[in-house]
């Protein structure tokens, strides 16, 4: 009776077809439930391993570019490969912050020591490089170190997931792979700019300052920072930027403090221009205006500027030129150059509308000044 009812449901006339289909479906579901995590692990592992192959290629290429730049521009007497390989493992330990008193001074000291180590190392492996080239080689070394660290961390979590058989660890690194590759590709794209001394997206701030410095005398005002005093429609405009065209950022906080302490209450405004990370969907080169110290600093330089501005009640204007992470460290794009020109006009408008004749105005172009001269 049951077989006849099944036969009516299946026109083929085979009353056992549905039974076999149900058995097949049941077995498939059971296999899927049992082996699903195994298949998922295989897919995620494959994705991470593919990313590691690409990251490994980036690391090797960065080492080749760095080695070639050192040999061509530094002309060392011996092969620096071993020394460079060892220095890629260099690390910095942040100061303790459980007692926040004086933490910024301690952080600044550690950053100064780090910078000195970089400079002494480049002087050792590239003894015949000029100051501008040495600064570019420091940046190139930093890029190689960043790529090497990204590769090692990604590899660490993949191996850890295999040894512990943790699907959760593997899942986290697999889902992070697109962002990891995006950051790595940004660093990789900067190799050409740093090895040849071309302006990068982060040079937008110094380029704005450089526009006002054209034809003016420059003088050193702080470590790796130069200044020019520019007359502008009855105002004394003091322009600050890192000493170019080498890849330097300098200490703009010290420079601003020195200018303000020299002129005191005569300073009516501090204008800061810097590149800023854009949100997805925003236009590259878009200029946004706000208030505050526009500087992507770990803390010490920004703190100095805020302190001296607060002490003398000086308004802080901020201009941000929007760009992506990739654009910030790669060769400067046309859209960012257009943003620089827009920022120059915005600075002029701020000076005209918010200051009066006889005022002293500080303009600080913040960022890496590689490829950007001093006027």
Please say if the pLDDT value at position 25 is more than 80: no
State percent of the chain over pLDDT 90.
79
The architecture in CATH of the region 201-365 reads 3-Layer(aba) Sandwich (3.40)
358-374 tens-digit pLDDT: 999 999 999 999 999 88
Q: How confident is the model at residue 9 (pLDDT cuts 50, 70, 90)?
A: very low
Residue-level pLDDT at 6 = 46
Residue-level pLDDT at 312 = 94
Residue-level pLDDT at 2 = 47
Residue 259 in tokens: 């200018």
Please say if the pLDDT value at position 296 is more than 50: yes
Q: How confident is the model at residue 297 (pLDDT cuts 50, 70, 90)?
A: confident
Q: Quick one: CA dihedral 357, 359, 360, 363, positive or negative?
A: negative
What is the rounded distance in angstroms from the CA atom of residue 229 to the CA atom of residue 236? Answer: 7
134-187 tens-digit pLDDT: 999 999 999 999 999 999 999 999 999 999 988 899 999 999 999 999 999 999
Please say if the pLDDT value at position 41 is more than 80: yes
Specify the pTM.
0.86
CA separation (Å) from 258 to 173, 179, 197, 241, 294? 47, 41, 30, 14, 18
Q: How far is CA 47 from the centre of its chain?
A: 25
What is the rounded distance in angstroms from the CA atom of residue 294 to the CA atom of residue 97? Answer: 24
Q: How confident is the model at residue 34 (pLDDT cuts 50, 70, 90)?
A: low
The order of strands in the sheet holding 287-291 is: 219-222, 225-232, 235-242, 360-365, 267-277, 316-323, 287-291
Annotated domain spans of the chain: 44-196, 201-365
């Amino acid at each position: 009776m049951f077989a006849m009812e099944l036969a009516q449901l299946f026109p083929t006339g085979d009353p056992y077809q549905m039974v076999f289909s149900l058995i097949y479906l049941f077995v498939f579901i059971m296999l899927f439930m049992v082996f699903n995590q195994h298949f998922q692990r295989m897919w995620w592992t494959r994705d991470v391993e593919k990313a590691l192959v690409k990251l490994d290629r980036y690391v090797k290429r960065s080492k080749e570019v760095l080695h070639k730049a050192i040999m061509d521009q530094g002309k060392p007497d011996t092969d620096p490969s071993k020394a460079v390989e060892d220095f890629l493992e260099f690390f910095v330990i942040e100061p303790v912050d459980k007692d926040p008193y004086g933490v910024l001074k301690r952080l600044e000291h550690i950053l100064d020591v780090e910078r000195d180590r970089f400079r002494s190392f480049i002087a050792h492996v590239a003894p015949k490089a000029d100051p501008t080239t040495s600064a570019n080689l420091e940046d190139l070394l930093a890029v190689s170190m960043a790529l090497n660290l990204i590769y090692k961390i990604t590899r660490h979590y993949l191996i850890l997931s295999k040894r512990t058989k943790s699907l959760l660890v593997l899942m986290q690194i697999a889902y992070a792979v697109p962002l990891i590759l995006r950051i790595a590709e940004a660093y990789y794209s900067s190799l050409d700019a740093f090895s040849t001394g071309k302006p990068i997206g982060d040079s937008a701030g110094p380029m704005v300052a450089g526009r006002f410095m054209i034809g003016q005398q420059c003088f050193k005002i702080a470590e790796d920072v130069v200044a020019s005093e520019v007359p502008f429609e009855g105002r004394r405009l003091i322009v600050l930027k890192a000493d170019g065209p080498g890849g330097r950022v300098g200490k703009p906080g010290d420079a601003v403090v020195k200018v303000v302490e020299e002129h005191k209450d005569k300073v009516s405004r501090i204008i800061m221009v810097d590149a800023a990370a854009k949100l997805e969907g925003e236009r590259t080169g878009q200029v946004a205006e706000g208030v505050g110290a526009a500087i992507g600093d770990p803390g010490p330089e920004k703190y100095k500027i805020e302190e001296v501005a607060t002490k003398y009640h000086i308004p802080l204007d901020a201009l941000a030129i929007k760009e992506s992470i990739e654009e910030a460290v790669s060769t400067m794009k046309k859209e960012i150059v257009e943003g620089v020109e827009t920022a120059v006009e915005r600075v002029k408008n701020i000076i005209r509308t918010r200051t009066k004749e006889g005022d002293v105005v500080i303009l600080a172009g913040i960022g890496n000044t590689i490829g950007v001269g001093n006027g």
